[in-house]
């Protein structure tokens, strides 16, 4: 398993060759989930006592398994929050794996951590955080939210003690991972209303805190780009209230805070510089591969007090330098910030600004086209790169039928959602290679789609592939 011979050499070059092919060639549009039974049968005999060899493993992956995964980086994957990793960051991710770096502490991973910290500093500067800010790359926005909230609770209970109930204030538009974090922590959520644009405002937060028996509220989670609508909460007004009430302000920017590097959108995050912590996922809109989420604290010391793990086997290591393991709930960690760093070094920060701006401009232009076309309604002015729109008279069932049909054909992935209780369509743009003309062609398609025609007729029941 660890020897290097001619067979290993061929296999290693084949793997690199496949990775390059996967990056270079267009993504086959029909890739997507297959039934579990079919996949299980295809790999039933893959693991044997003697081993099938690397080339056979690669063949199985290339021909059977990968085609059963959705290409999340396809330019016409417009659902959820897709991804669009750059060539440099993806290729470097292979190198990160090859180097077996333990990214938990400085003693083991100093070189990698220095680079990760430089990438975190770029983000901290964009947010206007002080020089003393610091953080860590974790696996995703969910892990960032949880780690920040655990720190926030620790800070609050250190001065207020531990009441029977502890509570986080957040809107109904907050990402599901925040509610999941509160369940893990055993704390409550104080609901804060949003305005017509899907944003938390200062007055709404003030009212929620006023109405509530406020004891026990220790943090506010604001969102810098909600998942469903791309809405940016009024961070400055929220920061005022957090300061007045001594509350921790965490800004979940897993998707949207990438636009801090955008010339068009940066000012929309006014107030972010006053947050106690924020998260932003390079694997969403900063062109890095999964899994990479930056968690940045204005003052990292309470995070270290909260999360650092101690034991005789750990404390023997010199802990004076920066140990990323101390700033979130984890110990062993891949240096998952390195692909972002490599992309920044390779292309320069202006390339990031331009690439993010492309999606913001395309979202704006697409929204204008929706508003202009009879038969369509723009439900919300885009604040970032999400557009919510409706086709006149369409029901949720019709959206589902159309969406599933187009996904099966491999034309595009546009999935319905709802806005203020109304079913609608949603696109989320993060890929700078998505063409505006391809987006407007979706409107042409919707305008002529006939659910009663054979092409629009319900497909035979497919047990696993809704989209």
Ligand X SMILES: Cc1ncc(COP(=O)(O)O)c(C=O)c1O
Contacts with ligand X by CB under 6 A lie at: 81, 140-142, 175, 177, 223, 227, 252, 254-255, 281, 293
Nearest-approach distance from CB 224 to ligand X, in angstroms: 8
Alpha helix (H) ranges present in 128-196? 141-160, 176-185
426 and 388 Cβ atoms separated by less than 8 Å: yes
Nearest-approach distance from CB 143 to ligand X, in angstroms: 6
Our CB check for ligand X shows the closer of 36 and 180 to be: 180
> Sign of the CA dihedral 442, 438, 415, 366?
negative
Nearest-approach distance from CB 50 to ligand X, in angstroms: 39
Our CB check for ligand X shows the closer of 81 and 391 to be: 81
Our CB check for ligand X shows the closer of 216 and 230 to be: 230
Nearest-approach distance from CB 152 to ligand X, in angstroms: 16
Nearest-approach distance from CB 211 to ligand X, in angstroms: 26
Nearest-approach distance from CB 308 to ligand X, in angstroms: 23
- Neighbour-count burial of 393, counting CB atoms closer than 10 A to its CB (0-12 exposed, 13-18 middle, 19+ buried): exposed
Adjacency order of strands within the sheet including 217-223: 134-138, 293-297, 277-280, 248-252, 217-223, 167-171, 188-192
Our CB check for ligand X shows the closer of 338 and 428 to be: 428
DSSP 351: H
Our CB check for ligand X shows the closer of 387 and 401 to be: 387
Name the CA dihedral angle for 240, 244, 248, 253, rounded to a multiple of 10 degrees: -10
Our CB check for ligand X shows the closer of 233 and 357 to be: 233
Q: How far apart are CA 137 and CA 113, in angstroms?
A: 10
Our CB check for ligand X shows the closer of 75 and 141 to be: 141
Nearest-approach distance from CB 80 to ligand X, in angstroms: 7
Q: Which of 419, 373, 358 is nearest to 230 (CA)?
A: 419
DSSP 201: -
Tokens 């086959």, residue located = 28
């Amino acid at each position: 398993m660890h020897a290097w011979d001619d067979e290993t050499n061929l296999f290693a070059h084949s793997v690199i060759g496949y990775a390059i092919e996967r990056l270079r060639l267009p993504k086959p549009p029909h890739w997507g989930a297959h039934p579990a039974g079919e996949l299980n049968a295809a790999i039933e005999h893959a693991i044997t006592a003697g081993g099938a060899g690397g080339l056979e493993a690669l063949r199985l992956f290339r021909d059977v398994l990968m085609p059963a995964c959705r290409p999340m980086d396809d330019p016409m994957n417009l659902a959820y929050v897709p991804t669009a990793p750059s060539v440099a960051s993806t290729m470097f991710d292979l190198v990160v794996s090859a180097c077996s770096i333990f990214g938990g502490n400085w003693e083991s991973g100093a070189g990698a951590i220095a680079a990760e910290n430089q990438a975190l500093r770029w983000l901290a500067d964009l947010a206007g955080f002080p020089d003393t800010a610091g953080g860590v790359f974790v696996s995703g926005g969910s892990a960032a939210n949880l780690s920040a909230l655990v720190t926030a609770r620790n800070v609050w209970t250190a001065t207020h003690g531990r009441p029977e109930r502890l509570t986080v204030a957040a809107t109904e538009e907050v990402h599901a991972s925040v509610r999941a974090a509160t369940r893990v922590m055993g704390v409550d959520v104080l609901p804060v209303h949003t305005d017509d644009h899907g944003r938390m405002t200062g007055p709404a937060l003030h009212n929620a805190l006023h109405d509530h028996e406020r004891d026990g509220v220790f943090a506010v989670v604001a969102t810098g780009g909600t998942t469903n609508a791309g809405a940016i909460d009024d961070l400055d007004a929220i920061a005022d209230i957090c300061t007045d009430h001594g509350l921790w302000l965490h800004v979940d920017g897993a998707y949207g805070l990438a636009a801090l590097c955008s010339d068009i959108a940066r000012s929309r995050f006014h107030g972010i510089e006053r947050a106690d912590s924020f998260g932003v996922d390079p694997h969403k809109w900063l062109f890095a591969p999964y899994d990479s989420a930056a968690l940045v604290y204005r003052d990292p010391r309470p995070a270290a007090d909260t999360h650092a793990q101690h034991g005789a086997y750990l404390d023997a290591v010199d802990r004076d330098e920066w140990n990323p393991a101390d700033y979130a709930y984890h110990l062993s960690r891949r240096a998952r910030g390195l692909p972002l760093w490599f992309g920044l070094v390779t292309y320069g920060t202006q390339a990031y600004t331009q690439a993010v701006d492309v999606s913001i401009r395309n979202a704006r232009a697409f929204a204008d086209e929706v508003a202009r076309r009879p038969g369509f309604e723009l439900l919300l002015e885009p604040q970032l790169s999400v557009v919510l729109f409706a086709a006149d008279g369409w029901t949720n069932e019709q959206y589902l039928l159309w969406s599933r049909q187009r996904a099966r054909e491999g034309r595009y992935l546009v999935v319905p959602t709802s806005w203020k209780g109304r079913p609608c369509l949603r696109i989320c743009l993060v890929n700078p290679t998505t063409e505006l003309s391809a987006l407007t062609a979706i409107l042409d398609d919707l305008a002529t789609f006939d659910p009663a025609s054979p092409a629009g007729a319900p497909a035979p029941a497919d047990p696993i592939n809704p989209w």
